[in-house]
């Protein structure tokens, strides 16, 4: 089923579409659209788009890095980081579910001849310094050359501890490796930890941040890191066809998101908690709620499709992943929407307590 064209414009609280599939589904509001319409623009391939430049500088400053690069997506950002860190025949180490390894079409190997060593993660999405150290290859021509560790924060809604990430980075440094942080949802981690974003990014050489998820911009990610690294990534972006011209219209939305949508992520976290608490009361439903904006449910296999249909009939959209189905709170989900969702779950046959 396609949900294209559905909007909540003019809808009352009881018939709004409640789309819990992802925080990528948010649509730019009036004020963000105004900022986009009024953006100063130029040709960014010539380095002349002041709004793109302002965004790159702002994100770099927020994350405590030297330079930034505005790119089309988180996937492109991670790919450019891998290509800029690693040469052909080199490898990176990453958690086995991490997006940079598991969800990006094998881009680093397809386009960069880069190998990967995936590591098992624990129940909170973490890998350990010991695991990393044990997998760094010795200087032996049988092996790829280990070059990079890829971390992620948050991982499936779980905040990664600074201590663990620092311990991994210390091992990496000791062995001459770089550290890339896929911080697609880094701002959720920063808000949950009550730390400045730069503190959450401090152990990493390079960071990828998505503006199009919880932060609510329509398009875009920013890769940040040392100036020479960003210069290589800028070359890679052009090569991949990602050099954009008057991209300031998009960057303006990202700047608006950074100015207005970081602190409010706490509301998404509170709404996820509220949702988890409400769903936990459903008979026989397994509910798992990390600290940020995600809730995972594990309905019985035979219940998932009937449940999705039952919810869809009430304007509530959830994803279809198995065995755990993810529900994500975001900018376009209110506490009322959460309560409506809990009510709808309670009215589903399998969960009904009678």
Ligand X SMILES: *Cc1c(COP(=O)(O)O)cnc(C)c1O
Binding site for ligand X (CB under 6 A): 73-75, 78, 99, 152, 182, 184, 210, 212, 221
Residue among 190 and 282 whose Cβ is closer to ligand X: 190
Which CB, 221 or 341, lies closer to ligand X?
221
| Position of minimal CB gap to ligand X | 74
Q: Cβ 64 to ligand X, closest distance in Å?
A: 20
Q: Of the two residues 100 and 178, which places its CB atom closer to ligand X in the complex?
A: 100
Instruction: Say how far apart CA 75 and CA 71 lie, in whole Å.
Output: 9
d(CA 220, CA 146): 30
- Assess contact for 256 and 212: CB atoms under 8 A: no
Select 220 or 315, whichever has its Cβ closest to ligand X: 220
Task: Compute the distance between CA of residue 102 and CA of residue 145 in angstroms, rounded to an integer.
Answer: 21
Q: How far is the CB of 348 from ligand X (least distance, A)?
A: 28
Which DSSP string do the residues of 38-91 spell out, in sequence order? Answer: T-----GGGT--HHHHHHHHHHHHHTT-SEEEEES-HHHHHHHHHHHH--TTEE
Between residues 182 and 268, which has the closer beta carbon with respect to ligand X?
182
- Residue 246 CB, shortest distance to ligand X, in Å, is 21
> What is the distance between the terminal CA atoms of the chain, rounded to a whole angstrom?
32
Closest contact distance (angstroms) between CB of 142 and ligand X is 32
Beta carbon of residue 257, minimum distance to ligand X (angstroms, whole number)? 14
């Amino acid at each position: 089923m396609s949900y294209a064209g559905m909007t909540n414009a003019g809808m009352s609280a009881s018939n709004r579409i409640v789309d819990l599939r992802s925080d990528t589904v948010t649509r730019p509001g009036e004020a963000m659209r105004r900022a986009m319409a009024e953006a100063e623009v130029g040709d960014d391939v010539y380095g002349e788009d002041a709004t793109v430049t302002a965004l790159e500088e702002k994100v770099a400053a927020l994350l405590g890095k030297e330079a930034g690069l505005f790119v089309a997506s988180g996937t492109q950002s991670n790919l450019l980081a891998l290509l800029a860190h690693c040469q052909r025949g080199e490898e990176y180490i990453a958690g086995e579910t991490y997006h940079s390894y598991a969800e990006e079409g094998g881009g680093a190997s397809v386009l960069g001849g880069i190998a990967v060593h995936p590591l098992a993660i624990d129940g909170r999405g973490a890998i350990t310094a010991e695991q990393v150290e044990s997998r760094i290859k010795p200087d032996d021509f049988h092996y790829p050359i280990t070059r990079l560790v890829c971390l992620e924060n948050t991982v499936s809604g779980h905040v990664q501890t600074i201590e663990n990430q620092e311990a991994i980075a210390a091992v990496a440094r000791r062995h001459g490796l770089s550290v890339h942080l896929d911080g697609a949802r880094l701002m959720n981690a920063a808000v949950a930890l009550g730390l400045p974003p730069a503190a959450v990014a401090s152990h990493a050489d390079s960071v990828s941040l998505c503006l199009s998820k919880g932060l609510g911009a329509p398009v875009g990610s920013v890769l940040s890191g040392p100036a020479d690294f960003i210069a290589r990534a800028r070359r890679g972006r052009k090569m991949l066809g990602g050099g954009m011209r008057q991209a300031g219209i998009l960057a303006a939305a990202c700047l608006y998101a950074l100015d207005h949508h970081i602190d409010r992520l706490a509301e998404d976290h509170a709404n996820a908690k509220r949702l988890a608490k409400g769903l936990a009361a459903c008979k026989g439903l397994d509910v798992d709620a990390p600290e940020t904006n995600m809730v995972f449910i594990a309905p019985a296999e035979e219940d998932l499709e009937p449940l999705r249909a039952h919810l869809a009939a009430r304007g509530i959209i959830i994803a279809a992943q198995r065995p755990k189905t993810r529900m994500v709170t975001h900018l376009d989900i209110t506490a009322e929407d959460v309560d409506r969702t809990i009510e709808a779950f309670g009215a589903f046959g399998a969960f009904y307590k009678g």
